[in-house]
Amino acid sequence: MSPLSLDLLRTFLAVHRTGSITAAAQTLGLSQPAVTAQVKTLESALDRPLFDRLARGVAPTPAADELARRVAASLDALDEVVESELPADGAMHLGGPAEFLCEVVMPMLAPLVRDGLRLRTTLGLSDDLLADLAGGRLDLVVSTIRPRVRGVRADPLYDEEFLLVAAPEVGNALRAAGGEVGPRVLAGVPLVAYAEDLPIVRRYWRIVFGRRPAMAAQIVIPDLRGVISAVRAGMGISVLPAYLCRRDLEAGTLVTLADPEEPPINTGYLAVRMGAQARPAVARVRAHLLETFRADPLY
């Protein structure tokens, strides 16, 4: 196989995995016209179309799916050989949700940083981070959703439990007014939420109370650390992940308002781009996080 043919296959696989000419160009460090030209050259050589052009991105044809299945493992293996020869002191790029990365993951990585790990982080929503991972802009992603992205491997990392919490004075007042805390009692209480559509609250209400929440958010803060700060100050109730509430519950600055037999739980994943895991820094961080989470009974 000539070097040109190998380049064509690499470009094809990048487009197939990212679903976008633009993203593939960013991954490969090429211009969009260059990627488009290489795809057309490969299509001409194979005498069949590989992608259908969409309003946003491209969709692989059956021929493209079959070609990707046949060449991906070999190209990834070759890339792993190349990646393993890169300098070991290159920075490792990690993405994840802001609160979880800052509160939980960063302290876990302290030993590796003290040992010389160079780390760069990107904070954001899982869908965006996984797109960056597939596009080669990140090496690892802690994802709150199960990744279903071509060229990405994901391992279950942790289960986070969600709690309905309030400041002690708010909790005491609710219990005094209505006995058992349920939807009726909570309907008139100020709600602090992460977003207007109450994604975490809605899930808790559906699983624990079997219905949708009847109230709207009085306070919206798009950072769970801000939400817990407001709840701690007595500004309202909220549903928050247990990892974020742990210290406040131990100190008595927050209380839980319900104790369901089966609290809502969300599984988080550690996702790595195929080929990148051969890099020493990526492999170290990935192995360290998997081992640390599995050894911690809280996760």
Q: Which residues touch 30 (CB under 8 Å, ≥6 apart)?
A: 11, 24, 38
Global pTM value: 0.71
Q: Which two tokens stand for residue 147?
A: 């990744």
Average pLDDT over residues 42-69: 91
For 7, counting Cβ atoms within 10 Å of its Cβ (0-12 exposed, 13-18 middle, 19+ buried), the class is middle
Instruction: Reply yes or no on whether the pLDDT at 278 is more than 50.
Output: yes
What's at 161, amino acid-wise? E
Is the CB of residue 192 less than 8 Å from the CB of residue 165? no
Q: What is the pLDDT of residue 94?
A: 96
Distance in angstroms (rounded) separating the CA atoms of residues 148 and 146: 6
Mean pLDDT rounded to a whole number for the chain: 88
- Least confident range of 17-26, 170-179, 240-249, 283-292: 170-179
* 62-84 and 3-18 helices, crossing angle to 10°: 110
- Least confident range of 2-16, 71-85, 162-176, 283-297: 71-85
Domains and CATH numbers, the chain: 3-84 (1.10.10.10), 92-157+266-295 (3.40.190.10), 160-263 (3.40.190.10)
Q: Which two tokens stand for residue 230?
A: 């407001």
Q: Which two tokens stand for residue 159?
A: 């289960």
**Residue of 263 and 292 predicted with greater confidence:** 292
Angle ∠(23,24,26) on CA atoms, nearest 5: 65
At 169, is the pLDDT very low, low, confident or very high (cuts 50, 70, 90)?
very high
Q: What is the pLDDT of residue 3?
A: 44
Average pLDDT over residues 156-171: 94
Distance in angstroms (rounded) separating the CA atoms of residues 13 and 270: 22
* 85 Rama sector, left if φ>0, alpha if ψ -120 to 50, beta otherwise: alpha
Q: What is the pLDDT of residue 178?
A: 62
Q: How many beta carbons lie within 10 A of that of residue 147, not counting itself?
A: 21
Q: Which two tokens stand for residue 51?
A: 């992608």
Is the CB of residue 242 less than 8 Å from the CB of residue 160? yes
